[in-house]
């Protein structure tokens, strides 16, 4: 595709052997950018069911055809470099937990995000529930390596969908004083949680500070759906952080090659990151770019495949050139239990993120079974391993927080609007 | 110790997070060298029960007191830099299997070395035996990622000790055509195997080529025993390769700190590497330097501890400054079965070796239980994972070799002397 021959599977070999440091050919990065520019200009990106986004692009030189927008890549980079902060601070209820994202700081680490099921320590599987969720948040709070307690560590299957954002935010705010991630259930829910958390944190934000990081996903290939677009706008306008991510299944939702996947994903995130800056110049953003080989026989992504670790290394370098913090993957794996495969795949993915220099690592603990389960055992094992790698001692574990009925009642009131 | 404050446990954090490449402070390397020089000059190294080694040191300016020799570090580095090759070729029976060690080539990978026990695929444990050994060699031959079939993959408990070097060499020579490692049972056994392998390889060696790599271990703290010293001499004089290694248990056979351990180990290997060059200028060598935290309660080394991965990164850089190829560790772990702990610890150790740029990785597949067992399942899993990481396809697997009764008979005759 596009004549790119500079990134092949054998590149992973040379990236991982022989030379001793993770090096990426600068000219290959330039070729990825040039390829993405051609995709943006000739193929365009679809922005579905959100006329306001189309109007904004029209104002800023986009060429619109139905819901497809043709864009100029160099202009998008200019917009991003012009106002996106190179780093920002995520604030917790406890000021000691405030975490700078980017600027060469150690990676912030959050647990798995989005698991419908839970693998319990007794080996049984259960549907995610509020009770388990609260236990998982307490575990994340206690783990010294986990600096951000994340969001949707498991799905709250026993809570009505409309109430889930509130119940999750309450769990994070009452069982932990670390920063965490916001909801993207709807723009209204996102704003409600932002209000409640701002109140709970209480301190007036300084420039470059916010409370919540939100996962805004493109829908590859080359599409953004209505809800992420509306959430992106609402969140950026509230000066909270968006992690704009393209999560591609190589061979299914992106080209099968590494080069093609990087080109497509970079085009997608470039558009999303620029949108955030156009809605709200200076709004904090993180870039995420992932390619997971997809097995067309089982119709499942192959987590743990080293090709995705190569994508990770390139993604970090592309973000560095753009001047924004970048997301890394934690212990993602296709293994069904916490066995040798899970340990090895997860450790290699985490090592690729840490060693390439990712700034915010999602899925840092607990991921199992293509992300369909959070494993309590793997959560503990990974949290401990990362703590050891990064030099945290057990003395830095956080004690459980005392129950504060007034805080809980206040927050419930605020979250109910 | 020695006022070194530049390597602390928090360094692993900064090596593994934030900056995105494995960087090592050059001034810290200089401090390690200076510390080792002081150890060599003021504490000295013991060379036990080998008057010829003491005579050689006396000739070259060493100060001898009983069997302790006080040496000048800068002179040792001068000797090593003056004649040790920066890279060399290990030759197999099949010229296509010849492998260059060093010079930025991808790491050569060999299986676990020295396991008394075997964990079978049915979950049972057995004592190592000749039959299992032959199966392990065939597996190493078939695995595309394994470029060197190693030595003593398990112990041949059912073969008389005197016959083991011959039986192992026969297995490697008849069931594989890849290069492998030589015996250090005794200098005589080493020479016998060298003769047989030279005959089997058949081709006249060019400069910088040899067949066998041998593991020559120091005995920390600051000691070399008689047999390794005599083997080192015999092997170097036959122009075969020695991997001079200090394998330290931090807190037991070396200082508990990373800096102290690196200083002690570097002093030890400097002396061993220089000895090889004094006996036979230009003889191929590899440097190995390892520190494993030691648990004083269980009296067991803690394989998988990230401190040892930090040691690995520094060891590679110290060897680079010395201009010799360097050893890396493969999937070492303290786990008792191939579970999440085994996968994670092994993958992180292997990643530290590959990413820091080690040239020859020992224990690359099969290691379990502090090295007391070789696991057939973990062997296969790791060989596959490394092949994927380094871009080898299944099409590069080697077929089993046809049984060659003449080769076997010839070799038996030759090995029996």
Query: pLDDT value at position B312?
Result: 92
- Judging by DSSP bridges, how do beta strands B125-127 and B117-119 pair with one another? antiparallel
Query: pLDDT value at position A136?
Result: 97
Query: pLDDT value at position A23?
Result: 57
Query: pLDDT value at position A17?
Result: 33
Q: How confident is the model at residue B309 (pLDDT cuts 50, 70, 90)?
A: confident
The helix (H) or strand (E) run that includes residue B314 is: helix B306-322
Edge-to-edge order in the sheet of strand B300-301: B180-181, B212-217, B241-250, B285-295, B300-301
Contacts of B120 (CB under 8 A, 6+ apart): B126, B376
The helix (H) or strand (E) run that includes residue B64 is: strand B63-65
Whether the CB of B354 is below 8 Å from some CB of chain A: the reply is yes
Query: pLDDT value at position A11?
Result: 40
Across the interface, of A305, A341, A390, the residue whose CB is closest to B388 is: A305
Query: pLDDT value at position B23?
Result: 57
Q: How confident is the model at residue B6 (pLDDT cuts 50, 70, 90)?
A: very low
Across the interface, of B13, B343, B357, the residue whose CB is closest to A341 is: B343
Query: pLDDT value at position A19?
Result: 33
With CA atoms as reference, report the closest residue to B21 among A191, A24, A52.
A24
Which structure tokens are listed for B108?
């050569």
Query: pLDDT value at position B9?
Result: 37
Across the interface, of A17, A23, A345, the residue whose CB is closest to B390 is: A17
- Judging by DSSP bridges, how do beta strands B327-329 and A367-368 pair with one another? unpaired
Is the pLDDT at B19 greater than 70? The verdict is no
- How far is it, in rounded angstroms, from Cα B55 to Cα B349? 40
Tell me the shortest Cα–Cα distance from A225 to chain B, in angstroms. 33
Query: pLDDT value at position B87?
Result: 98
Contacts of A411 (CB under 8 A, 6+ apart): A169, A170, A173, A174, A196, A199, A200
Query: pLDDT value at position A14?
Result: 37
CA of residue A86 relative to chain centroid, distance: 16
Q: How confident is the model at residue B4 (pLDDT cuts 50, 70, 90)?
A: very low
Chain B segment 95-124 residues within 8 A of A by beta carbon are 104-107
B83-393+404-415, CATH topology level: TIM Barrel (3.20.20)
Query: pLDDT value at position B301?
Result: 94
When pLDDT is averaged across residues B144-157 and rounded to a whole number, the result is: 97
Whether the CB of B160 is below 8 Å from some CB of chain A: the reply is no
| Assigned superfamily of A83-99+128-321 | Trimethylamine methyltransferase-like (3.20.20.480)
- How far is it, in rounded angstroms, from Cα A349 to Cα A305? 9
Residue in B closest to A382 by C-alpha: B344
Q: How confident is the model at residue B337 (pLDDT cuts 50, 70, 90)?
A: very high
> What does the pLDDT profile of chain A (417 residues) look like in tens digits?
222 333 333 343 333 333 333 557 788 899 999 999 999 999 999 999 999 999 999 999 999 999 999 999 999 999 999 999 999 999 999 999 999 999 989 899 999 999 999 999 999 999 999 999 999 999 999 999 999 999 999 999 999 999 999 999 999 999 999 999 999 999 999 999 999 999 999 999 999 999 999 999 999 999 999 999 999 999 999 999 999 999 999 999 999 999 999 999 999 999 999 999 999 999 999 999 999 999 988 899 999 888 898 899 899 999 999 999 999 999 999 999 999 999 999 999 998 898 888 999 999 999 999 999 999 999 999 999 888 877 776 667 777 787 788 888 888 887 765
Q: Give the lowest-confidence range in A411-415, B206-210, B303-307, B405-409.
A: A411-415
Q: How confident is the model at residue B395 (pLDDT cuts 50, 70, 90)?
A: low
Which structure tokens are listed for B92?
């197999």
* Contact yes or no for A104 and B339 at CB 8 A: no
CA of residue B142 relative to chain centroid, distance: 22
Q: Which residue has the higher pLDDT, A401 or B255?
A: B255
Across the interface, of B14, B382, B389, the residue whose CB is closest to A306 is: B389
Query: pLDDT value at position A64?
Result: 98
Is the pLDDT at B318 greater than 60? The verdict is yes
Is the pLDDT at B241 greater than 60? The verdict is yes
- How far is it, in rounded angstroms, from Cα B398 to Cα B382? 17
Tell me the shortest Cα–Cα distance from B381 to chain A, in angstroms. 8
Edge-to-edge order in the sheet of strand B45-47: B63-65, B68-70, B45-47, B223-224
Whether the CB of B16 is below 8 Å from some CB of chain A: the reply is yes
Is the pLDDT at B3 greater than 70? The verdict is no
**Within 13 Å and on the Cβ side, how many CA atoms surround B256?**
4
Across the interface, of A10, A343, A356, the residue whose CB is closest to B339 is: A343
Q: What is the mean pLDDT of chain B?
A: 91
CA of residue B414 relative to chain centroid, distance: 27
First to last CA, chain A: 51
Q: Are B347 and B385 contacting, i.e. CB atoms less than 8 angstroms apart?
A: yes
- How far is it, in rounded angstroms, from Cα A189 to Cα B380? 49
Whether the CB of A381 is below 8 Å from some CB of chain B: the reply is yes
**Within 13 Å and on the Cβ side, how many CA atoms surround A300?**
13
Query: pLDDT value at position A400?
Result: 78
A/B interface, count of CB pairs below 8 Å = 155
Is the pLDDT at B21 greater than 50? The verdict is no
**SS3 sequence of B137-181:** HHHHHHCCCCCCCCCCCECCCCCCHHHHHHHHHHHHHHHCCCCEE
Chain A segment 194-253 residues within 8 A of B by beta carbon are none
Query: pLDDT value at position B212?
Result: 98
């Amino acid at each position: 595709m596009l004549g790119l021959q500079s990134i092949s599977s054998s590149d992973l070999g040379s990236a991982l052997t022989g030379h001793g440091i993770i090096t990426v050919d600068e000219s290959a990065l330039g070729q990825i950018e040039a390829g993405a520019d051609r995709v943006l200009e000739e193929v365009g990106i679809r922005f579905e069911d959100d006329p306001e986004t189309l109007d904004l692009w029209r104002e800023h030189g986009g060429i619109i055809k139905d819901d497809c927008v043709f864009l100029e890549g160099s202009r998008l980079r200019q917009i991003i470099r012009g106002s996106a902060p190179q780093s920002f601070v995520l604030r917790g209820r406890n000021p000691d937990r405030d975490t700078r994202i980017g600027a060469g700081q150690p990676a912030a680490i959050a647990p798995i995000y989005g698991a419908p099921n839970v693998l319990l320590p007794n080996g049984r599987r259960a549907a995610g529930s509020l009770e388990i969720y609260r236990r998982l948040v307490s575990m994340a709070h206690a783990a010294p390596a986990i600096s951000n307690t994340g969001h949707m560590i498991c799905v709250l299957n026993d809570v009505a969908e409309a109430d889930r954002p509130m119940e999750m935010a309450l769990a994070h705010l009452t069982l932990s004083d670390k920063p965490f991630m916001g909801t993207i259930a709807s723009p209204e829910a996102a704003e409600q949680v932002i209000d409640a958390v701002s109140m709970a944190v209480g301190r007036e934000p300084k420039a470059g500070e916010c409370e919540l990081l939100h996962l805004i996903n493109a829908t590859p290939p080359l599409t953004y759906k209505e809800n992420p677009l509306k959430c992106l706008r609402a969140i950026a306008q509230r000066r909270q952080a968006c992690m704009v991510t393209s999560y591609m299944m190589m061979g299914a939702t992106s080209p099968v090659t590494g080069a093609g996947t990087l080109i497509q994903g970079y085009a997608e995130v470039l558009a999303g990151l620029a949108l955030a800056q156009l809605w709200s110049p200076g709004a904090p953003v993180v870039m995420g770019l992932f390619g997971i080989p997809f097995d067309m026989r089982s119709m499942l992504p192959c987590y743990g495949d080293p090709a995705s670790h190569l994508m990770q290394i390139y993604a970090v370098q592309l973000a560095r050139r753009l001047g924004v913090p970048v997301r890394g993957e934690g212990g993602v794996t296709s293994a069904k239990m916490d066995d040798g495969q899970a340990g090895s795949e997860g450790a290699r993915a985490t090592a690729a993120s840490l060693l390439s220099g990712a700034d915010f690592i999602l899925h840092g603990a607990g991921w199992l079974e293509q992300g369909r389960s959070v494993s309590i055992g793997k959560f503990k094992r990974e949290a401990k391993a990362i703590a050891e790698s990064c030099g945290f001692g057990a003395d830095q574990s956080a004690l459980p927080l005392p129950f504060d009925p007034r805080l809980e009642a206040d927050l419930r009131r605020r979250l109910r609007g």
